[in-house]
A and B are shown apart, each in its own frame.
Chain A
Amino acid sequence: MNNVYIPITVDHIARVEGKGGVEILVGDDGVKEVRLNIIEGPRFFEAITLGKKLDEALAVYPRICSFCSAAHKLTAVEAAEKAIGFTPREEIQALREVLYIGDMIESHALHLYLLVLPDYLGYSGPLHMVDEYKKEIGIALDLKNLGSWIMEVLGSRAIHQENVVFGGFGKLPGKATLELMKKRLQEALPKAEYTFELFSKLEQYKEVEGPITHLAVKPRGDVYGIYGDYISASDGNEFPSEDYKEHIKEFVVEHSFAKHSHYHGKPFMVGAISRVVNHADKLYGKAKELYESHRNLLRPTNPFANNLAQALELVYFAERAIDLIDEALAKWPIRPRDEVEIKDGFGVSTTEAPRGILIYALEVKDGKVAYADIITPTAFNLAMLEEHVRMMAEKHYKDEPERLKYLTEMVVRAYDPCISCSVHVARL
């Protein structure tokens, strides 16, 4: 039989955030087509916030995604503050970054232990691992709870924080609470290191080895981190964030409610591994040591290295948050909020969300949103992710369909896609 294509489909990829499926068409002579269907419905966030009051739009944007709602909130607020010409005080910026780190810790812990690890241990999901892997589940919950608690204290809630406002915060915790936060972060460090050791032993599938272009936000202040005003690429290029449209092009594809993106005409990757590839020289402390001793595993050529890069970041960001809290405590007592005058203007903020570069471009006119462009990490990653799923499928299309599905799902999970985030975004 010639050209008879057998579809192999996963309707609903499990253990990711959001709704997507994989479709692989296999013929006699190999893989014909690979599609990552993003079937999560559209939510039109840019369109629905146009003409809306800025503070109301800023309450709505984080609802793009729960796994990274703090990332959305803080990036949107920074874009809005840039637009109206306001720069928060250093100690406020430090505490906002701690809040962001809370999101990073929660998101990474959740992804690594509950979404990724079950595949390696042969379980369909974490709830079945409870009896056998008490220690791992315990660490997962401890780290996740620490991240949630940080977001609750500084953001008002673990999901959809309201406590970040123009000019600062609605309310700040007392000094004793920040000291307790520091203590809890210190106690979490051994658990983060255990996570790194655990994930350093897991297989990274050679089937998907190949060159990858990585993009990451160049951290402000030359310390590995979240905020920055330039984007760096692993091809040596670097450009100001506000020029993102000159380098990254978005386009609609038929099989997905989320758009795809190309950098200079080609798929690219963002996320923890991209941050490590582009900016490992700015790591410090224990994380730097771990990076040095495990460089061979943190490879720029394999998307599975993203899992280990996230584990490395658990260690790094716990230490970084401690330093940022110290910075804030050194200026205690801190005024939570400055008066802000809402002027007209345009602002672009680029930050590193748990899954990679997050862009908010906002124009403000008469206190209202006049233009909004939001591009999320998963939307950036989708084209590259589809390529890696194809590579895996090409090597395994003769295997049992169940095995093929399992392996391709693992590729998807290594990217930690936030499908909800990826849908709805970007005004043309």
Chain B
Amino acid sequence: MRRKAKIGFYALTSCYGCQLQFAMIDELVQALEKIRIECWFMLDRESNENAKVDIALIEGSVSTEEEVELVKKIRENAKIVVAVGSCAVQGGVQSWEKDKPLEELWKTVYGDGKVKFKPKMAEPVSKYIKVDYNIYGCPPEKKDFIYALGTLLIDSWPEDIDYPVCLECRLKGNPCVLIEKGEPCLGPITRAGCDARCPSYGIACIGCRGAIGYDVAWFDSLARTFREKGLTKEEILERMKIFNAHNPKLEEMVEKVFQGVEE
């Protein structure tokens, strides 16, 4: 029989929601027949951050110099590295003001106070190490974990989702929050997989699963629609950046819509 797969769950700077979601999967208890948890400080005192593992799950954004070293160490010790949740994958909501100087943010919150650790602007894990797979969401859905781990454990590779929240929203037959209610819904550019959770409550999507990859996040088309509804360029960028501050395409595509347009 195959040996148990060794798993580590590591935390960077975050709200711990991805780990909490993982801990709330009742099936985890059954999974213990197949996996051995080497490191998971949130639930186990006998955690070893230096253990070799088959799968490393990393939650949180890289937000201190100490965490830069930590992710490098995790990479060295792991066969497969999975970035979990919007902080690890996209830098998290704490990246919302990533273009402001860190000193300015520090001063606003800490004044002249000094701390002996070295803070830095939040960044995604992939900025520092090779990430093999992403689990998206803030937090991810339980099924995202079950699917990703289940697939990796049978030596297969989880498929990425390349279609928007809108698709799932249409299938549910919800009224359109963007078109019918006129609210700034980010469903059209946001990766599906949540079963259109927020629009099903009549709430506009804020994009927590991040913009869809593969060049199919049409920031420009949505920006045009938002503009027609009266939103300014700044307002559009602010909203799209909550979970996509590090996306290389976003600003350029939104800018394109406003070129030559007087606001």
Instruction: Tell me the A residues contacting B by CB distance below 8 Å.
Output: 12-19, 39-50, 52-53, 56, 59-60, 63-67, 69, 110, 114-115, 118, 124-128, 130, 137, 141, 144-145, 148, 156-160, 162-163, 165, 169-171, 251-257, 259, 409, 420, 423-428
Please, which residues of chain B bring their CB within 8 A of the CB of A64?
Answer: 15
- Asked whether A255 lies within 8 Å of B116 as measured between CB atoms, the reply is yes
Q: Which listed residue (A48, A130, A428) contacts B32, Cβ 8 A? A: A130
Binds A, one of B105-113, B144-152, B162-170, B222-230: B105-113
17 further contact pairs, Cβ within 8 A, besides A41-B119, A110-B20: A16-B42, A18-B11, A41-B117, A42-B63, A44-B109, A47-B109, A48-B94, A48-B97, A52-B238, A66-B21, A125-B45, A141-B26, A156-B203, A170-B202, A252-B110, A254-B116, A427-B109
User: How would you classify the secondary structure of chain A's contact residues: helix, strand, loop or mixed?
Assistant: loop
B198 part of interface (Cβ distance < 8 Å) = yes
A43 and B201 contact, Cβ closer than 8 Å, known pairs A252-B114, A257-B117:
no
Q: Judge whether B218 is part of the interface by a CB distance below 8 angstroms.
A: no
Partner among A56, A125, A127, A159 whose Cβ is within 8 Å of the Cβ of B20: A159
8 Å CB interface, B150-209 against A: 197-198, 200-203, 206, 208
Cβ of B49 and Cβ of A66 under 8 Å apart?
no
Determine the chain B residues whose CB is within 8 A of the CB of A46 once the complex forms: 108-109
- The interface on chain B, measured as residues whose beta carbon lies within 8 A of the other chain's beta carbons, has a size of 67
CB distance from A29 to the nearest CB of B (A): 26
B138 x A63 contact (CB < 8 A): yes
B29 at the interface (CB under 8 A from A): yes
A53/B238 in contact, CB under 8 A:
yes
Q: Is the CB of B44 within 8 A of A127?
A: yes
Q: Are A156 and B201 in contact (CB under 8 A)?
A: yes
* A110 and B23 alpha carbons, distance in the complex (Å): 10
Q: List 13 A-B contacts (CB under 8 A).
A: A15-B42, A15-B43, A41-B64, A41-B122, A42-B110, A43-B13, A44-B109, A60-B242, A115-B43, A137-B29, A252-B114, A255-B115, A257-B119
B64 to chain A, nearest CB (A): 4
Q: Mark B13-35, 1 if CB is under 8 A from A, else 0.
A: 11111101101101011001000
User: Given that A156-B203, A163-B201 are known contacts, is A48 also in contact with B96, CB under 8 Å in the complex?
Assistant: yes
Bound-state Cα–Cα, A251 to B32, Å: 44
The CA of A43 and the CA of B17, in the complex, are separated in Å by: 15
Is the pair A127, B17 in contact by a Cβ cutoff of 8 Å? no
Q: Assess whether B133 is interfacial by the CB under 8 Å rule.
A: no
Q: Report whether A124 and B46 are in contact in the complex, using a CB–CB cutoff of 8 Å.
A: yes
Given known contacts A159-B139, A162-B201, is B109 in contact with A126 (CB within 8 Å)? no
Contact at B94–A15, with CB atoms within 8 Å?
Answer: no
B41 in the interface, Cβ–Cβ < 8 Å?
A: yes
**A426 in contact with B109 (CB, 8 Å):** yes
Q: Is B67 an interface residue (CB 8 A)?
A: yes
User: Which 10 residue pairs across A and B have the least CB separation, nearest first?
Assistant: A252-B113, A41-B63, A66-B17, A41-B13, A125-B44, A124-B46, A47-B108, A43-B94, A14-B45, A124-B45
Contact of A18 among B16, B23, B119, B198 (CB under 8 A): B16
Chain B positions within 8 Å of A63 at CB level:
15, 17, 92-93, 138
Q: Which residue of A lies closest to B177 (CB)?
A: A170
Minimal Cβ-Cβ distance residue in A for B118: A41
Which listed residue, A40, A128, A162, touches B206 by the CB 8 Å rule? Answer: A162
Once A41-B119, A52-B238, A125-B44 are accepted as A-B contacts, the answer to whether A424 and B109 lie under 8 Å apart by CB is yes
A137–B28 CA distance with the chains assembled, in angstroms:
13
| B interface list, Cβ under 8 A from A | 11-18, 20-21, 23-24, 26, 28-29, 32, 37, 40-47, 49, 60-61, 63-64, 66-67, 92-94, 96-97, 100, 104-106, 108-111, 113-117, 119-120, 122, 138-139, 197-198, 200-203, 206, 208, 235, 238-239, 242
Measured in the bound complex, the distance between the Cα atoms of B26 and A181 in whole Å is 20
Q: How far is the CB of B153 from chain A (nearest CB, A)?
A: 17
Q: Which residues of A contact B201 (CB under 8 A)?
A: 156, 162-163, 169-171
The CA of A287 and the CA of B47, in the complex, are separated in Å by 37
- Report chain B residues within 8 Å CB of A426: 109
In the bound assembly, the distance between CA atoms of A69 and B66 in angstroms comes to: 27
Q: B11 — which chain A residues lie within 8 A by C-beta? A: 18-19
A298 to chain B, nearest CB (A): 27
A274 to B40, CA, bound (A): 31
Q: Which residues of A sit under 8 angstroms from B40, Cβ to Cβ?
A: 125
Residue among B16, B44, B93, B111 making CB contact with A420, cutoff 8 Å: B16
Judging by beta carbons under 8 Å apart, are B197 and A157 in contact?
yes
* Closest Cβ–Cβ distance, residue B28 to chain A (whole Å): 8
Give min CB distance, A375 to chain B, whole Å.
12
What's the least CB distance linking A183 to chain B, in Å? 21
Q: How far is the CA of A118 from the CA of B44 in the complex (A)?
A: 9
**Distance, CA A124 to CA B235, complexed state (A):** 49
Given the complex, which residues of A lie within 8 Å of B92, measured CB to CB?
A: 43, 63
| CB atoms of B49 and A67 under 8 A apart | no
Contact A47 B117 (CB under 8 A): no
Whether A43 contacts B16 by the Cβ 8 Å rule is no
Q: A427 and B139 in contact (CB under 8 A), knowing A41-B12, A156-B198?
A: no
Residue A148 contacts which of B13, B24, B114, B200 (CB distance < 8 angstroms)? B24
Residues of chain B within 8 A of A18, CB atoms compared: 11, 16
Q: How far is the CA of A61 from the CA of B41 in the complex (A)?
A: 25
CB pair B197 A156 closer than 8 Å: yes
B90 CB to closest chain A CB (Å) equals: 12
- Are A42 and B119 closer than 8 Å at their CB atoms? yes
B242 touches A42 (CB 8 A): no
Is the Cβ of A159 less than 8 Å from the Cβ of B13? Answer: no
Residues of B within 8 A of A110 (CB): 20, 23
Contact at A12–B115, with CB atoms within 8 Å?
no
B21's closest neighbor in chain A, by CB? Answer: A159
State whether A158 and B109 are in contact (beta carbons under 8 Å apart), knowing that A39-B64, A39-B66, A125-B44 are contacts in the complex. Answer: no
CB distance from A135 to the nearest CB of B (A): 14
